[in-house]
């Protein structure tokens, strides 16, 4: 229902959106959570304006940001203090846009493990663009410490916004025992032919039905290169199709795509994330998400056959503090 806030007018929120202009469906899962959090905080009268972080903003989009009540960078791997403005696609800016964009607030944003080094462009980008007054939400302690090390004391680790709905009551309803079916993922840009083929072999031997979801654009091509397509049911490359499979019940998730795994947890599926970089490792360390390093894939079969009692530790106080800030901004 449309309702006015305390000032009697609608608020305008620009989301620097990871789902726009990308073929990675995991960014759509992140974006959905970001939009939900913003609408819940606004409680009615808000106009949400998504702008892609993967494409340089136009003059009209920069005007939207300038006129917005709040600008939020919503999730994904945006933090990179070693930044090159003409070739960094994670947060695609021009020098002109850096002069126009101000007071951006982070929501569940992360950094890659290689981003701890910095250069002049990187320091200038974040010093110019990010708010020094409002609290930033980042997805793990690694990113929080990195930002603090670069002078941002207004940072809280809230974990990824896709996990905020994983309450103790919700997670308690996830079956601990192995299902008869499994859906898995691969990561086309981070290949390990031996380990990934071993993982798939375990799945084919352990489950009656094996599904594959190509979250990334070249994931299916990678599966073909592994030579193990036979006996695998391929799910259409969209989030709705993935949801349809995992919502039926009686299916596990195993794979290298972190946000497919979190989506499976949202749908109360038994989940094992296979870590290929610092993202799953850091979130697993902070929250207790069940994850194993791909280098330890030989232990996967034992984990699959055993019971998994998933417990998630959420930084509730940090989440509440960040939400309260947003409510004050949007309802005032």
Task: Give CA–CA dist 221/217, Å, rounded.
Answer: 8
Query: Per the structure, how many domains does the chain have?
Result: 2
Task: Please report whether residue 103 resides in a domain.
Answer: yes
Query: Tens digit of pLDDT for each residue in 18-29?
Result: 898 888 999 999
Query: Are 172 and 136 in the same domain?
Result: no
The answer to whether 80 and 94 have CB atoms below 8 angstroms apart is: no
Query: What average pLDDT does the segment 227-232 reach?
Result: 93
Pairing of strands 251-255, 11-17: unpaired
Is 251 a member of any domain?
A: yes
Query: Are the C-beta atoms of residues 163 and 287 closer than 8 Å to each other?
Result: yes
Displacement of CA 127 from its chain's centroid (Å)? 24
Residue 222 lies in a domain: yes
Instruction: Tell me what the pLDDT averaged over the chain comes to.
Output: 90
pLDDT of residue 172: 97
Give the CATH number of the domain where residue 110 resides: 3.40.50
> Is residue 192 domain-shared with residue 323, that is, in the same domain?
no
CA 212/CA 118 separation, integer angstroms? 38
CA–CA dist 242, 260 (Å, integer): 9
pLDDT tens digits, residue range 171-198?
Answer: 999 999 999 999 999 999 999 999 999 9
Burial class (CB in 10 A: 0-12, 13-18, 19+), 78: buried
Residue 310 lies in a domain: no
Short-list 134, 4, 147, 16, CA closest to 75: 16
Element (H, E) at 272: strand 271-275
Per mean pLDDT, which range of 14-18, 95-99, 179-183, 292-296 is the poorest? 95-99
- Same domain? For 213 and 97 the reply is no
Mean pLDDT lowest among 120-124, 212-216, 263-267: 120-124
In a domain, 4, yes or no: no
The token pair at 145 is 């410490």
Q: Any idea which residue has 């695609």 for tokens?
A: 92
Are residue 158 and residue 109 in the same domain, yes or no? yes
pTM for the model: 0.92
Distance (Å, whole) CA 301 – CA 299: 6
Task: Please check whether residue 219 is in contact with residue 255, taking contact to mean a CB–CB distance below 8 angstroms.
Answer: no
pLDDT band at 112, cuts 50/70/90? confident
Residue 283 and residue 193 in one domain: yes
Q: Please state, in angstroms and rounded to a whole number, the distance separating the CA atoms of residues 22 and 30.
A: 12
Tell me how far apart the alpha carbons of residues 239 and 293 are, in angstroms, rounded to a whole number.
25
Task: Say whether both 46 and 77 belong to one domain.
Answer: yes
Residues 85 and 202 in one domain: no
Half-sphere exposure of 156 (CA within 13 A, CB side): 19
Q: Is residue 6 part of a domain?
A: no
Do 212 and 228 contact (CB within 8 A), yes or no?
A: no
β-sheet bridge partners, residue 138: 109, 157
Is the domain of 129 the same as that of 245?
Answer: no
Mean pLDDT of the region 279-287: 94
Pairing assessment for the beta strands 271-275 and 291-293 based on DSSP bridges: parallel
The length of the chain, given as a count of residues: 332
The pLDDT confidence band at residue 331, using thresholds 50, 70 and 90, is confident
pLDDT of residue 7: 54
pLDDT of residue 85: 64
**Burial group, residue 320, by CB count within 10 angstroms (0-12, 13-18, 19+):** exposed
- Check pLDDT > 50 for residue 1: no
Domain around 94: 11-164+316-331
Reduced to 3 states (helix: H, G, I; strand: E, B; else coil), residue 15 is strand
Q: Which helix (H) or strand (E) holds 40?
A: helix 26-42
Instruction: Provide the sign of the torsion angle of the four alpha carbons 265, 22, 53, 256, taken in this order.
Output: positive
């Amino acid at each position: 229902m449309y309702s006015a806030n305390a000032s009697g007018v609608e608020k305008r929120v620009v989301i620097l959106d990871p789902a726009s202009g990308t073929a990675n469906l995991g960014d759509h899962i992140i974006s959905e959570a970001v939009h939900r959090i913003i609408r819940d905080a606004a409680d009615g009268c808000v106009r949400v304006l998504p702008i892609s972080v993967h494409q340089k903003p136009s003059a009209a989009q920069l005007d939207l940001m300038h006129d917005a009540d709040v600008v939020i960078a919503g999730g994904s791997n945006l933090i990179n203090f070693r930044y090159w403005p003409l070739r960094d696609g994670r947060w695609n800016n021009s020098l002109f846009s850096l002069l126009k964009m101000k007071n951006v607030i982070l929501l569940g944003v992360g950094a890659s493990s290689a981003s701890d080094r910095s250069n002049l462009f990187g320091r200038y980008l974040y010093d110019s663009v990010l708010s020094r007054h409002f609290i930033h939400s980042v997805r793990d302690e690694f990113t929080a410490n990195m930002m603090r090390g670069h002078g941002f004391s207004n940072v809280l680790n809230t974990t990824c916004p896709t996990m905020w709905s994983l309450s103790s009551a919700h997670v308690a309803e996830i079956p601990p025992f192995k299902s008869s079916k499994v859906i898995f993922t691969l990561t086309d840009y981070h290949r390990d032919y031996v380990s990934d083929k071993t993982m798939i072999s375990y799945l084919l031997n352990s489950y009656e039905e094996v599904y594959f979801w190509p979250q990334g654009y070249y994931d299916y091509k990678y599966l073909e290169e592994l030579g193990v397509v036979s006996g695998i049911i391929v799910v259409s490359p969209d989030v709705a199709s993935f949801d349809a499979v995992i919502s039926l019940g009686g299916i596990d998730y195993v794979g290298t795509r972190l946000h497919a795994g979190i989506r499976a947890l949202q749908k109360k599926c038994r989940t094992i994330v296979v870590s290929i970089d610092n993202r799953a490792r850091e979130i697993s360390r902070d929250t207790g998400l069940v994850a194993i390093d791909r280098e330890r894939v030989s232990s996967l079969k034992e984990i699959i056959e055993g019971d998994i009692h998933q417990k998630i530790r959420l930084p509730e106080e940090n989440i509440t503090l960040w939400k309260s800030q947003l409510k004050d901004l949007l309802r005032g």
